[in-house]
Structure 1
């Protein structure tokens, strides 16, 4: 499974299943979640073999309507809780939640980074 597959499994039950890689379609109802790999720590072996697992940095973004700061904050807490409880991913919370606003969609959001070993 890819890191993106793991995220889909762990977070599928949140935001009514509205979970998208990179960006959501413009007409998506809120709340929703987007995610993307934003780096990581590559593992290299002298043998040149490819490792069975990856250590990736995943950014997870939660979005809600313009007047829904509390809703998006609660969703972000649920995302963090779900990832922390996914012990098979050995999740490390890398950053606190950062609030954001998207003018194009008139949405409030949060961004948070996690390290996954999968």
Structure 2
């Protein structure tokens, strides 16, 4: 991966999955489904005896939201492909977790993906 911010890398990969409805942390109120929210939730340390490495790791949590369980599952499969079967070469940490938001009646799928990138 060339030099880029992890947020830009993730956003560019996921935009085509949901017609550019990809947001850091949470979607704005009233956002139509489907959409994806993402956030960095840690990662492997990149400090060496020589200081911080220019190769960094981010554990990115991807959350796909839609009106049906089936669509959320299909969209998560597409999001995984976009981040793992591309030049990004992300690595899923486990398997997706299904979620349901009672307040909004939305179905979701959540997964953490480890991504190495250059700063």
TM-score over 0.5 (shorter chain): yes
Kindly indicate whether the alpha-carbon contact (under 8 Å) linking 1:22 and 1:35 is maintained by their aligned counterparts in 2: yes
Structure 2: runs of 5 or more not aligned = none
Structure with a larger share of its residues in strand: 2
* 1:8-27 superposed matches below 5 A: 8-27=11-30
Kindly indicate whether the alpha-carbon contact (under 8 Å) linking 1:101 and 1:108 is maintained by their aligned counterparts in 2: yes
- Which of 40, 43, 47 matches 1:40? 43
Tell me which residue corresponds to 1:108: 107
Determine the C-alpha separation between the residues in 2 that align with 1:113 and 1:47. Answer: 29
Determine the C-alpha separation between the residues in 2 that align with 1:117 and 1:34. Answer: 20
Structure 1: runs of 5 or more not aligned = none
Please give the root-mean-square deviation of Cα atoms over the aligned residues, in Å.
1.1
Length, aligned pairs only: 114
Q: Are residue 5 (structure 1) and residue 8 (structure 2) matched?
A: yes
Q: Name the TM-score, length of structure 2 as normaliser.
A: 0.90
